[in-house]
Amino acid sequence: MPGLTPRIVVGREQDVEPSPMPDTDGRWATTRLLDPSDLAFDMHVNIVTFQPGASIPFMETHEMEHGLYVLQGKGVYRLNQDWVEVEAGDYMSLRAFCPQACYAGGDEPFRYLLYKDVNRQVML
């Protein structure tokens, strides 16, 4: 977007209040490390946290690509028709419109760093 220059952002996860997903009793929350309303950025960088046993209880899909790097814990991620076990240190790259869901396994939170492209619509 012409005229929008992103600023340098340096921060700490601990200084950002997580946003709980609706109807999850706070068991699924997203820490937004970049202001999602700032159109100067063409990406979201978030930390997604699921408490043990929490899940994305439905199949979802997005028009944007995703990159996920597992920071902590273990989970099972549904990608297309396959359920894949993932744990700290694993990386996933999801194409646009990839059906997905997940479940946090183990006895500690399942957390991943999420990158997804946004604000890239072409001006007609």
What is the SS3 assignment for 120?
Answer: coil
CATH of the domain spanning 21-117, picked from 3.50.50.60, 3.30.700.30, 2.60.120.10, 3.30.1490.480: 2.60.120.10
Per-residue burial over 1-12, b = 16 or more CB atoms within 10 Å of its CB, e = otherwise: eeeeeeeeeeee
Band (36; pLDDT cuts 50, 70, 90): confident
Band (42; pLDDT cuts 50, 70, 90): confident
Q: How much is the pTM?
A: 0.88
Average pLDDT over residues 58-83: 92
With a CB cutoff of 8 Å and minimum separation 6, the contacts of 117 are 42, 43, 64, 65
With a CB cutoff of 8 Å and minimum separation 6, the contacts of 35 are 41
